[in-house]
Amino acid sequence: MSIEEEVHGIVAAQRAFFKTGKTLDVKFRIAQLKALKASVLTHEADMVDALHKDLGRHSVEAFFCDVGSVILEINEAIRGVKRWSRTEVHFSGLVCFPSIFTRVYKMPYGVSLIISPFNFPYVLSLGVLTAAIAGGNTAVIKASSKAPNCTKVLMDIVADAFPPEYITVLGGGHDVADCCLNERFDKIFYTGSTNVGKHVLECASKNLTPVALELGGETGNWCIVRKDADIRDAAHKIAFFKIVNSGQVCVNINQVAVAREIADEFVSAVKEEIIRQIGERSCVNPEYACLISDSAYKKCAEEAELYRERIVFGGEGCPETRKYSPTIIYPVDINEPIVMHELFCPLLPIVPFDDDKIDELLETIESREHGLSLYIFTKNVRWAKRAMSHLQFGGGCINEILLQLVVKGAPFNGTGHSGMGAYHGEWGFREFTHPSTVLVGSRHFNLRLREHPYEGSTINKYKFFKFMEK
| Amino acid in the structure at residue 297 | Y
Catalytic residue among 61, 73, 183, 214: 214
Active site residue 280: no
Closest to 151 (Cα-Cα) out of 300, 311, 292, 264: 292
User: Is-contact 55 245, C-beta < 8 A?
Assistant: yes
Is residue 225 within 8 A of residue 377, CB to CB? The reply is yes
- Distances in whole angstroms, Cα of residue 35 to Cα of each of 19, 70, 116, 137, 351: 22, 13, 21, 16, 48
Contact 159, 151 (CB under 8 A): no
SS3 assignment, position 198: helix
Helix residue spans in 392-446 (DSSP H): 426-431
Q: What is the rounded distance in angstroms from the CA atom of residue 439 to the CA atom of residue 96? A: 9
* Torsion (CA) 407, 413, 415, 418 in degrees, nearest 10: 110
E strands, 211-259, are: 211-215, 222-225, 255-259
d(CA 291, CA 345): 7
- Give the closest residue to 125 by CA, choosing from 115, 135, 137, 134: 115
- Per the CB < 8 A criterion, the answer to whether 373 and 359 are in contact is no
Of residues 117, 116, 121, the one with CA closest to residue 51: 121
Neighbours of 461 (CB within 10 A): 17
Beta strands in 50-146 (DSSP E): 88-91, 101-108, 111-115, 138-142
What's 370's DSSP letter? P
CB atoms within 10 A of CB 334: 18
| Angle of helix 148-161 versus helix 126-134 axis, rounded to 10 | 30
214 is catalytic: yes
Looking at the DSSP bridge assignments, the partners of residue 286 are none
**What gap in Å lies between CA 375 and CA 399, rounded to an integer?**
7
352 three-class SS: strand
Report the residue count for the chain.
470
Q: At residue 14, what is the residue type?
A: Q
Question: Of 203, 250, 300, 345, which one is the catalytic site residue?
Answer: 250
* Nearest by Cα to 166 from 2, 40, 31: 31
Residue 271 to residue 21: CA distance in whole angstroms: 58
The residues that are catalytic are 214, 250
